[in-house]
Amino acid sequence: MFGGRKKTPSIDTLVGCNSRVDGDIRFGGGFHVDGYVKGNIKAAADTLSIISISERGTVEGTVSAPEILLNGTIIGDAVAGHRILLGPNARVNGNVYYNLIEMAIGAEVNGKLIHRPGTITPLLAHQRKVGDTS
């Protein structure tokens, strides 16, 4: 998304620009929001899941996932187990919990940035499980 990265996540679930969802969402894989979600969004436990929220997307609730790509609005906390990328149109009205963060010029956080070091990256955890021969 930023810094010359070319890799885009595969999208398994989509909330379209003319859609509104009222209620909590649990997901696995790739989840993209172009519409409006009023409720908490949480990735399934122990996954390599990623959520992306476009500049047209808004979430009113807590967003929790290993990776968060935000260029829209979160009215609530953003909890990134591994990494959060805040684009130039990103707006967070709440706290941001992160291990790694990347913020573009123009991104706005109206809350605290709370670093949570030592959180193992999902990819490394997956590689350790696959490579474990004991």
- Three-state secondary structure readout of the chain: CCCCCCCCCCCCEEECCCCEEECCEEECCEEEECCEEECCEEECCCCCCEEEECCCCEEECCEEEEEEEECCEEECCEEEEEEEEECCCCEECCCEEECEEEECCCCEECCCEEECCCCCCHHHHHHHHHHCCC
Structural domain contains residue 2: no
Higher pLDDT, 15 or 130: 15
| The total number of structural domains that make up the chain | 1
Q: Has residue 56 got a pLDDT over 60?
A: yes
Structural domain contains residue 1: no
Banded pLDDT at 10 (limits 50, 70, 90): confident
Domain range for residue 30?
A: 13-131
pTM of the predicted model as reported, rounded to 2 decimal places: 0.82
Q: Has residue 52 got a pLDDT over 70?
A: yes
Residues 92-121: tens digit of each pLDDT: 999 999 999 999 999 999 999 999 986 555
Structural domain contains residue 3: no
Higher pLDDT, 69 or 117: 69
Query: How many Cβ atoms from other residues are within 10 Å of residue 33's Cβ?
Result: 28
Banded pLDDT at 127 (limits 50, 70, 90): very low
